Amino acid sequence: MKDKRPVYLNLFKIRLPVAGMVSLAHRASGILLFIAIPFAVYLLDLSVISSDGFAEVMTILQHPLVLLVEVMLVWALAHHFFAGIRFLLIDADIGVEKTQAKYGAWLVVLASVIIVALFICELVR
């Protein structure tokens, strides 16, 4: 099918409403979590082989660069979790109305930020 209509999709010029941002971030966080899967399985393997392996996993997880990745993944997981619940509720016709949808989206953003803050607090404690 050939379609010659012009398409204007410059992502830098489209100002998405917060619900749109949450939807986009749901995808982005999903992709991040997908990329993390093989690494998570590797760490799981290492952690159950021997007590040395377990200790090595603990060392890896405390490396500064890895900690940065962990913070990012905690955000991705939290956002995906809360945005997922929001989408399930929307499937059930809860929070579809415009204002509610907006507040729901802000709630997702806020809840994920709180989880990330809790994680960072736990790290520096």
Partner 1 sequence: MSVYVLEGLRPWVIQRVSGVYIALFTVYLIYCGVSAEQTGFELWRAWLFDPVNSVGVGLFIIAVLFHAWIGIRDVILDYIHNIMLRIFILALVLGVLAGSGLWAFRILAFRILLLSVVN
Write out the residues near partner 1 by the rule CB under 8 A. Answer: 27, 30-31, 33-34, 37-38, 41, 44-45, 47-51, 54-55, 77, 81, 84-85, 88, 91
Distance CA 24, CA 60 (A): 31
Whether 87 contacts 117, CB under 8 Å: no
**Considering beta carbons, is residue 56 or 102 the nearer one to partner 1?**
56
- Decide whether 5 or 98 has the Cβ nearer to partner 1: 5
Kindly state the smallest distance separating residue 84's Cβ from partner 1, in Å.
Answer: 5
**Smaller CB distance to partner 1: residue 51 or 99?**
51
Q: What does 30-79 look like in DSSP terms, one character per residue?
A: HHHHHHHHHHHHHHHHHHHH-HHHHHHHHHHHTSHHHHHHHHHHHHHHHH
Q: How far is the CB of 102 from partner 1 (least distance, A)?
A: 23
